[in-house]
Amino acid sequence: MGTLLIVDDESAIRQSLQGYFQDLGFQVLTAASAEEVLAMDGLDAVDAVIMDIRLPGQDGVVCMRALAARFPQIRFVVHTGSLDFALGEEEEFLGISEEQIFLKPVPDLEVLRAALERLGVRP
């Protein structure tokens, strides 16, 4: 079973994504901040992270960098409300392409599932 980590500081978004992906058969972990993520156990089982960029404390890019250093198998999808977020060298280094960046709100969560599938992450 594929394991996802959803990181978003908005509870309603976390719950919506969690329910959707659990219904598809994924194991889902959630966190509200980068600091919460980096203190979690069991991250070695995570296949992919759906990451918000604007988080309280450390931002999503810092969190992705830390996760990638510890768990190189993890793939990333960016799900952000930040209109000024742009793909840069840091994100490209983490293996993130334009096809993996989505602006909130995403009206059809199927696009996030399809992005994960392109990364080889399935339930």
φ/ψ bin of 42: left (φ > 0), alpha (ψ from -120 to 50), beta (otherwise): left
Average pLDDT, the chain: 93
> For residue 38, what pLDDT is reported?
95
| Complete DSSP assignment for the chain | --EEEEE-S-HHHHHHHHHHHHHTT-EEEEESSHHHHHT-S-GGG--EEEE-S--SSS-HHHHHHHHHHH-TT-EEEEEE--TT----HHHHHTT--GGGEEESP-S-THHHHHHHHHTT---
Q: Is the pLDDT of residue 93 over 80?
A: no
Instruction: Report which residue type is found at 102.
Output: F
**Above pLDDT 90, what percent of the chain?**
83
Distance CA 93, CA 81 (A): 22
More confident residue, 21 or 98: 21
CATH number for 3-110: choose from 3.40.50.2300, 3.20.20.100, 3.50.50.60, 3.40.630.30: 3.40.50.2300
**Residue 86 pLDDT level (bands cut at 50, 70, 90):** confident
CB 123 within 8 A of CB 24: yes
Per-residue pLDDT tens digits for 18-61: 999 999 999 999 999 999 999 999 999 999 999 999 999 999 99
Q: Where are the domains of the chain?
A: 3-110
> For residue 120, what pLDDT is reported?
95
**Residue 85 pLDDT level (bands cut at 50, 70, 90):** confident
